[in-house]
Each structure stands twice: as C-alpha cells, then as structure tokens.
Amino acid sequence: MPYFDAASSAPLHPVARQALQASLDEGWADPARLYREGRRARLLLDAAREAAAEAVGCRPDELVFTSSGTRAVHTGIYGSLSGRRRVGRHLVVSAVEHSSVLHAGAALEADGGTVTEVPVDRTGAVSPAAYAAALRPDTALACLQSANHEVGTVQPVGEVAEACRATGVPLLVDAAQSLAWGPVEDGWSLLAASAHKWGGPAGVGLLAVRKGVRFAPQGPADERESGRSPGFENIPAIVAAAASLRAVRAEAAAEAERLRVLVDRVRVRVPELVPDVEVVGDPVRRLPHLVTFSCLYVDGETLLHELDRSGFSVSSGSSCTSSTLTPSHVLRAMGVLSEGNVRVSLPVGTASSDVDRFLAVLPGVVSSVRQKLGAPTSPPSPAPDGTDLTIDALGKRCPIPVIELAKVIGDVPLGGTVTVLADDEAARLDIPAWCEMRGQEYVGESRRERGSAYVVRRVE
C-alpha cells in the first residue's frame, strides 16, 4: 500500500528505530544530573547534538533540540524578534511559508508589529530582487523556506541571504522539507527543521542560531537546551533523530537521483494520461521527491478518498480538504488551479513499480470523479449566436462553479462573456486558473452582497 505523503510525515527510518530502541535503556535519565544514569544521558545528548550540527553545518553549541519543527520556528522567530526589538518590529516572509511561520507573523501583527509577505511567481519561487526590496531599516527578521512543502519549488536562499547580509537583517530558513537532502545554502542566521520529515521520530525539531545573532528566548526561564527549549529533553528520540539524519544523508545523493526520475515520470505522464491537468511548481529547481498537480473539474476530497481506496495515500491543497474550506495559501499565492489538487511526495525507498501503478490507477479515478460531478468531457462546441450568460453557482462548492462555467462557455459567442456567481473561496483562484489553462480571458471579479461575480470572456 504505497504511502506518497512523505512531506507530511515520513515513515520511521530503520536507523531511527534502532537508535530509539537502543537509547531507551541509556537515555531516560535527566542529563543535568551528576550520577551515572545522568552522565550517560548527557553523553548521548552531546553526541546527537554533534551529529546533527555536522549535518546542518553549524557548531554544536549553535544547535538546540526542540519538541517539534513548529516549536523550532516559533522559538526562532520570537527569539529573533525580541533580540532585535530595538531595530524594529517588521518581519519579512515569503507568501508560501509553512503555516507555523505565517501564524507567528499573524501573532506579531496582532501584537502591533508589521509583516511583509513577498509574493511568488507561478512556480512558487520568490524573486531575490523582490525579497531584497521588502527589507527595511526596521526589519527585525526575514524568513524564507529552503523549499516549498506543497509544490517542491526550491527557493533562492543564497541570493536572499546575500541581500539580508547586505542590510544586516538575520535570515531564518525553515529547512523542514530539504534538510534530508543536504545542507542549506550558506548565509542563514537561523535554521529550523523537523525530524519526522526525514524519517526521524515525532517530537524532535531543531533550531540552529549562529553565534553573534541577537537572540532573546521568550517565555519563562528554563535551563535546558541553552535556555532556548524548555522541558525535559527527549533523549531517545533526539538520538534517533540525529542518527537517521546522518543515515538519510549518506544515501541522499543516490536516492535523490532515483526519485527525481520517478517524479519526472509523474510530471510528464500525468498530463498525457489525464486531460485538463496542471502540473505546478518549478520543474527543475525542485525537491527530488515531490510533485503536485491539479485536475480540473474534480473535487479534491473525493479524489483523495478514491485514491486511498485504491491504496495510495496522498495529500491535497484543495479547499474541500482543509478545515477552513479555503484553498492552500501556497496555491493561492502562486495563482494556480487548486481544484482536484494532489501532492505526491515519495518516501525514501519508493519502488518504481508503485509509481507506475499510481499512473495506471489515476486516470480512471479522475475520470470517475468527473463523471459523478457531470464535468464536461469535450471542448466547447462552435459558437452559436448568443448573448452574455450568467451562472448562479452560489452555495456550490469547488469544483462545481468551474464545471458550470466550462459547460456553458461554448454557448456564448467569441467575445461574449460568462459571469459566474459563486461564494466558494476556491472560485477566486480556480476560475482565473481555468482561464489560463483554457486560453480564455479572465476579465475580473466584483463583490456582490453574497459572494462574488467572476467574469470570463470567450476568446477562443
């Protein structure tokens, strides 16, 4: 049963399991104690810190273990903001950061600070120039992920770090998605990551803060982990995290090459096998194991459910698969289609045959979902006479508004318009994305008392 959602959480690496089991006997005591059980625990913790620091590319005393990647991000952001409070309370982030970064930004804004979100292009990458332009004299911290968690696009960390260095702004890199594959490009000031993304156990994040970076831990004092991560250290899990990071790194180059081929196969074959699909993210500057595509006229939740029934575990940024019923902020920032969105992220060791089986199953699954929804199967018929049309899709959820639009576009003449009334958040993203895919002109959106009116002009 192939699990294709390594970007959410990777199955435990065999080395992590071994290390965890071995250190349950040696690592349960308090490493701050002076007796033998404490000294043994301390030795394990120190060795794990050295191994993790080597993989990160920092000094052991620059690295602390946290209880999760989210905690590492929060601690890094708050510690930096507080350490540089005299400079200002302005934070720069990319629009496609992980929610842990964006939520920390929202909390800063609620507390009177300001946040600039640097937009991304249609591949999901920030422009170094745009990022540099967002830096201000009162910028306390800049955040940029090493690679995007939803579409796999690698960010220009080195160039952005250079811009940050030039203006004296520390750069926090969320390396959660990429650390398994190699160290982050030079120039970062803080780095956060999460062990369960590389096959380590849950419950371990890491935060590296370069010497000389102003940093003031927030919250109640605690002596553990240099005062940067309160609470009793989870040493068996930390040992397992460090050991598995070293293990995945040892095989990273070869495995990246192998998975890159499998992902390329998905990138090429899916649009050939399934009509009306948009593969998103940068095709070249990307994580080796991750590919995302969106299928027109498909309801993401049903698609995931059907793939699950066929044995494939994938995730989605579609609105219907989120608790807030809004499409993923990443897809929104990229301006790409969100309906029928599927993220495939291959765990280390994924068999080529599993990917082939996925490619064999997907077309039938998508087509059955489309059939159920009554999606159009052929291009619009030649334009008859006619006038502008309005579709009332109020109260209808993604992908219905787009399906209704596609069904009637052939009924208006070239130059005529279709106005879609819709109150589902996904329509704002998906109607323009459909126009882009179909070569039709997206005229614009106007707010109505309920929902919005989206106007599309038929141009082909």
| Active site residues per annotation | 320
343 touches its own copies by CB under 8 A: no
The Cα 354–Cα 327 span in angstroms is 28
What b/e string do you get for 95-112 counting C-beta neighbours within 10 Å, with b at 16 or more? bbbbebbbebbeebeeee
E strands present in 311-436: 341-345, 389-392, 417-422
The Cα 213–Cα 218 span in angstroms is 15
The Cα 369–Cα 375 span in angstroms is 9
Helices in 409-440 by DSSP H: which ranges?
425-438
350 touches its own copies by CB under 8 A: no
Cβ proximity to its own copies: between 307 and 391 the closer is 307
167 touches its own copies by CB under 8 A: no
Sign of the Cα torsion 120, 87, 57, 69 reads: negative
Residues 281-300 that bind its own copies (CB under 8 A): none
Q: Are strands 190-194 and 277-280 parallel, antiparallel or unpaired?
A: unpaired
22, 29, 373, 389: residue in contact with its own copies (rule CB under 8 A): 29
The Cα 66–Cα 75 span in angstroms is 9
18, 38, 54, 367: residue in contact with its own copies (rule CB under 8 A): 38
Q: How far is the CB of 104 from its own copies (least distance, A)?
A: 4
The Cα 327–Cα 428 span in angstroms is 10
47 touches its own copies by CB under 8 A: no
196 touches its own copies by CB under 8 A: yes
Cβ proximity to its own copies: between 205 and 451 the closer is 205
Cβ proximity to its own copies: between 2 and 156 the closer is 2
Sole window of 22-30, 207-215, 274-282, 401-409 interacting with its own copies (rule: CB under 8 A): 22-30
Counting beta carbons within 10 angstroms of the beta carbon of residue 230, is it exposed (0 to 12), middle (13 to 18) or buried (19 or more)?
Answer: middle
The Cα 452–Cα 139 span in angstroms is 36
Cβ proximity to its own copies: between 34 and 254 the closer is 34
Q: How far is the CB of 201 from its own copies (least distance, A)?
A: 7
Cβ proximity to its own copies: between 6 and 422 the closer is 6
Sole window of 65-73, 288-296, 351-359, 444-452 interacting with its own copies (rule: CB under 8 A): 65-73
Residues 417-446 that bind its own copies (CB under 8 A): none
Q: Can you give the length of the chain in residues?
A: 460
61, 186, 272, 308: residue in contact with its own copies (rule CB under 8 A): 308
Cβ proximity to its own copies: between 309 and 372 the closer is 309
Residues 198-237 that bind its own copies (CB under 8 A): 201-203, 205, 219-223, 230-237
Residues 79-118 that bind its own copies (CB under 8 A): 99-100, 103-104, 106-107
12, 22, 43, 373: residue in contact with its own copies (rule CB under 8 A): 12
Q: Are strands 63-66 and 205-209 parallel, antiparallel or unpaired?
A: antiparallel
Please name the residues in contact with 71: beta carbons below 8 A apart, sequence gap of 6 or more.
Answer: 205, 229
28, 138, 168, 414: residue in contact with its own copies (rule CB under 8 A): 28
321 touches its own copies by CB under 8 A: yes
What b/e string do you get for 429-453 counting C-beta neighbours within 10 Å, with b at 16 or more? bbbbbbbbbbebbbeebeeeeebbe
The Cα 149–Cα 146 span in angstroms is 9
Number of neighbours of residue 378 by Cβ within 10 angstroms: 7
Please name the residues in contact with 237: beta carbons below 8 A apart, sequence gap of 6 or more.
Answer: 20, 195, 200, 201, 202, 203, 204
Cβ proximity to its own copies: between 237 and 391 the closer is 237
193 touches its own copies by CB under 8 A: no
Q: How far is the CB of 322 from its own copies (least distance, A)?
A: 10
Query: Using CB under 8 A as the criterion, which residues of the chain lie in contact with its own copies when the complex forms?
Result: 1, 3, 5, 8-12, 17, 20-21, 24-25, 28-30, 33-38, 67-71, 74, 99-100, 103-104, 106-107, 194, 196, 201-203, 205, 219-223, 230-237, 301, 304-305, 307-308, 312-315, 321, 323
